[in-house]
Amino acid sequence: MKVLVLYYSQTGQLKEIANNCLSPLVADASLELDFVKVETEHQFPFPWSRLEFFNAFPESVYGTPFKLKPIKVDESKNYDLIVLAYTVWYLNPSIPISSLLQHEDAKKIFNGKKVITLLGSRNMWVLAQEKVKRHLKNLEADLVGNIVLIDRNKNLVSIITIVRWMFYGKKNPFWGFPRAGIIQEDIESSNKFGKVILNRLKTNNHSDMQNDLNEIGAVDINPSLLILEKRATKLFGMYAGFLSKKGGFYNKERLGRVSLLSYLLPIGAFILSPVTTISSYLISIIKKKELNEEIRYFKQNSLRE
Ligand SMILES: Cc1cc2nc3c(=O)[nH]c(=O)nc-3n(C[C@H](O)[C@H](O)[C@H](O)COP(=O)(O)O)c2cc1C
């Protein structure tokens, strides 16, 4: 059996997750596992400068495809499963992965294939996954599983630690703040998901695999974060329009507005977030039934029309 892992990981965190999660498959002699990194020709820097980080905002939000380096997938291998490992940028699939899903070769790679998505993000990914579901549907692929690892620290704490990590490349704990990113223990224990995948591959039965994965914590959705994410998505659409009016990714004229966003977004997060966190929490209690239904949908792989 052959499994293809398509991934983009900038700092290596998602690659480490994929390595751990899929280690039961690597250890099985009857399986062949190919890791293929997806890369844009434009090199996104790490650590990021402030302007470069925020300049990626409109294209992430709009899902504007970038030119990719050749995708090194051997199309003569008839893969039994594709694992699409991706991160989230500004509530959307990262630019390299969004570019892959719109690439002319994507149809050849994904058409008719069973796909499992594997995410490693901060804590807001739900609506990005809806976009990935839509792309996969257009490519006529069959999404059979979803596994999501997030930073389980408090929202504002993870904003502070991730900003330090992204801008200064520092992940270590500091001033009482925890280590940035996804808790190491969660990364290391993710091989439990790989065991489920291996078992399903061997029995060639992927129906309802998500239920097995969910039982061991593959997808955990916090109702207040979901409300926050939906609100932020609306705002992000407006900001992206405001920035794009001054030109595209390489247009220096828009850097003034990019710089403005680089102050507005953190201020918004720190001043408004505590208020919106409380209001989202209250809404999550008042609209509990409605939200639970929505969460049930987001924990599965079907796509709402
Ligand atoms: C430009 C940018 C925007 C990001 N936006 C989000 C986001 O909206 N939601 C989220 O959960 N994580 C977000 N993250 C965190 C990433 O999803 C990811 O966890 C982190 O970049 C490490 O991934 P890596 O494996 O590519 O190094 C963002 C990261 C970057 C670089």
What's the CATH code of the domain at 103?
Answer: 3.40.50.360
Q: Which of 39, 90, 121 to probe ligand 1 with, by most ligand atoms within 8 A of CB?
A: 121
Residues 6+ apart with CB under 8 A from 251: none
Establish if 304 belongs to a structural domain.
no
**Residue 119 near residue 92, CB atoms below 8 Å:** no
How far does the centroid of ligand 1 lie from the alpha carbon of residue 129, in Å?
14
Domain count, the chain: 1
Rounded to whole angstroms, how far apart are CA atoms 256 and 260? 6
Q: 121 CB under 6 A from ligand 1?
A: yes
SS3 249: coil
Our answer on whether the CB atom of 14 is closer than 6 Å to any ligand 1 atom is yes
Domain interval for residue 282: 2-298
pLDDT at res. 280: 80
In this structure, the residue with its CA closest to atom 18 of ligand 1 is 121
Per-residue pLDDT of the chain in tens (305 residues, 90 and over written 9): 999 999 999 999 999 999 999 999 999 999 999 999 999 999 999 999 999 999 999 999 999 999 999 999 998 999 999 999 999 999 999 999 999 999 999 999 999 999 999 999 999 999 999 999 999 999 999 999 999 999 999 988 999 999 999 999 999 999 999 999 999 999 999 999 999 999 999 999 889 999 999 999 999 999 989 988 998 999 999 999 999 999 999 999 999 999 999 998 888 877 777 787 788 888 888 888 999 999 999 999 999 87
Distance of alpha carbon 262 from alpha carbon 16, whole angstroms: 29
Q: Is residue 303 part of a domain?
A: no
* Residue with tokens 């302007």, as numbered in its chain: 51
Q: Is residue 229 included in any domain, yes or no? A: yes
pTM for the complete prediction?
0.96
Is 257 within a domain? yes
Q: Does ligand 1 come within 6 angstroms of the Cβ of 301?
A: no
> What CA–CA distance (Å, rounded) separates 61 from 93?
9
Collapsing DSSP to helix, strand or coil, 177 comes out as strand
Distance 280 CA to ligand 1 centre (A): 22
Ligand 1 center to 89 CA (angstroms): 5
CA of 214 relative to ligand 1 center, distance in Å: 23
CA–CA distance, 212 with 145 (Å, rounded to integer): 10
Taking the C-alpha atoms of residue 207 and residue 209, their distance in angstroms, rounded to an integer, is 5
